[in-house]
């Protein structure tokens, strides 16, 4: 199969990772990003052991860990703050590297962006793909700035509200709001220094150690459809949500004082049960399987998508075979993450009977430890 030139739509975690993987295999890569500032909020993100392994496979682990705080232990707590269970996860990247890590999203994007550009990917900001004309042998693309280009394949890594998905699959379902919001904040002082602490109950929350002496705290809350949050007063609003959480979270939330530092978003989900591609245009990451953060694997699934997709492109005899094999390899893992993340949230909101979060988390970890 002859593929030389690839367009990647979206320069977030998934798009940058697939650009890196493609360039490592010698493909020519154009990368476009809608946001002219290429901005990303600086709150933390949890990267579990399958992501650490993925970073190692892309020769990114050293650069990544310079910006991250590694840890091996995860501890689960009940609504009253009492410990339910504590365990160490495997060091899949090797005994000298941590199992998991916490990192600021902005730092992670810089690591990925620097590597993608350093490998020769060409990035254009403030640009979208307005028309995709797939003639079976290639895709002619018209961009929002009036430029045009022809590509062997196009990869849509443009998130849950993917414009690429809407162009190639106009009948695909739209994202839906689950009924919960996630509130995120970087605490200036470390609360959890060597483990990921997860608090279950009516208010799900967590504490993740970050580099530079910080701790990332997240809280989930139920909000009416259409709820809007003004920047002014958002720190106080987050502290009020923390009053329903375990004592450790309520104490940590006393450090939430800067309105500008609060990042709060509604949780919206989508899962495409059918094809993930049409012709020579394929989707990945949140464009096909956006989940809630209850299992902490949203970014991890996009990163794994990128690696598997490029692997299949290198093995298949034609584009159709590669895209079908990519979906087949990814389907079980991502469907498990999406389905069970939503189940945990629905149980918290009492939409369904209680679920065994520890059992689900154990199954997830067993699955993520398997090769991709």
Domain 5-43+63-69+104-175+269-348: CATH superfamily, name plus number: FAD/NAD(P)-binding domain (3.50.50.60)
What is the rounded CA–CA span in Å between residue 121 and residue 112? 11
What is the rounded CA–CA span in Å between residue 201 and residue 204? 6
Per-residue pLDDT tens digits of the chain, which is 372 residues long: 789 999 999 999 999 999 999 999 999 999 999 999 998 888 999 999 999 999 999 999 999 999 999 999 999 898 899 998 888 989 999 999 999 999 999 999 999 999 999 999 999 999 999 999 999 999 999 999 999 999 999 999 999 999 999 999 999 999 999 999 999 999 998 887 789 999 987 788 999 999 989 999 999 999 999 999 999 999 999 999 999 899 999 999 999 999 999 999 999 999 999 999 999 999 999 999 999 999 999 999 999 999 999 999 999 999 999 999 999 999 999 999 999 999 999 999 999 999 988 899 889 999 999 999
CA angle 262, 77, 221 (to 5 degrees): 35
Domain ranges of the chain: 5-43+63-69+104-175+269-348
What is the rounded CA–CA span in Å between residue 305 and residue 309? 6
Residues listed for the chain: 372
What pLDDT, on the 0 to 100 scale, is given for residue 85?
A: 86
For residue 345, count other CB atoms closer than 10 A to its CB. Answer: 25
What pLDDT, on the 0 to 100 scale, is given for residue 24?
A: 98
- Does pTM surpass 0.85? yes
Helix residue ranges, H only, 199-317: 234-242, 247-252, 286-289, 298-315
Burial 115-148 (b: 16+ CB within 10 A, else e): bbbeeebebeeebebeebebeeebbebebeeeee
């Amino acid at each position: 199969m002859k593929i030389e030139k690839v367009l990647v739509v979206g320069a977030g975690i998934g798009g940058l990772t697939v650009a890196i993987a493609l360039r490592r295999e010698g493909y020519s890569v154009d990368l476009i990003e809608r946001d002219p500032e290429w901005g990303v909020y600086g709150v933390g993100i949890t990267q579990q052991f399958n992501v650490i392994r993925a970073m190692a496979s892309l020769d990114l682990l050293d650069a990544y860990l310079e910006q991250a705080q590694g840890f091996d232990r995860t501890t689960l707590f009940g609504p009253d703050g009492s410990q339910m269970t504590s365990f160490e996860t495997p060091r899949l990247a090797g005994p000298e590297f941590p199992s998991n890590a916490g990192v600021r999203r902005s730092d992670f994007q810089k690591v990925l962006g620097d590597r993608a550009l350093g490998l020769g990917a060409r990035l254009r900001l403030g640009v979208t793909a307005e028309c995709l004309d797939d003639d079976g042998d290639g895709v002619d693309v018209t961009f929002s700035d009036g430029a045009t280009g022809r590509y062997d394949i196009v990869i849509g890594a443009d998130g849950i509200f993917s414009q690429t998905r809407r162009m190639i699959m106009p009948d695909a379902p739209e994202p839906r709001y689950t009924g919960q919001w996630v509130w995120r904040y970087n605490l200036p002082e470390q609360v959890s220094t060597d483990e990921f602490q997860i608090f279950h109950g009516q208010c799900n929350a967590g504490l993740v150690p970050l580099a530079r002496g910080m701790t990332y705290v997240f809280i989930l809350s139920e909000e009416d459809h259409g709820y809007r949050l003004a920047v002014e007063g958002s720190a106080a609003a987050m502290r009020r949500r923390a009053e329903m959480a375990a004592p450790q979270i309520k104490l940590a939330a006393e450090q939430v004082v800067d309105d500008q530092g609060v990042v709060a978003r509604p949780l919206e989900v989508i899962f495409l049960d059918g094809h993930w591609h049409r012709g020579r245009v394929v989707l990945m990451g949140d464009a096909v399987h956006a989940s809630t953060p209850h299992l902490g694997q949203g970014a991890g699934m996009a990163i794994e998508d990128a690696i598997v997709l490029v692997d299949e492109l290198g093995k298949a005899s034609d584009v159709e075979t590669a895209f079908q094999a990519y979906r087949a390899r990814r389907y079980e893992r991502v469907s498990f993450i999406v389905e069970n993340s939503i189940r945990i949230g629905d149980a918290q909101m009492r939409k369904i009977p209680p679920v065994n979060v520890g059992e689900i988390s154990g199954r997830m970890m067993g699955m993520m430890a398997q090769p991709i």
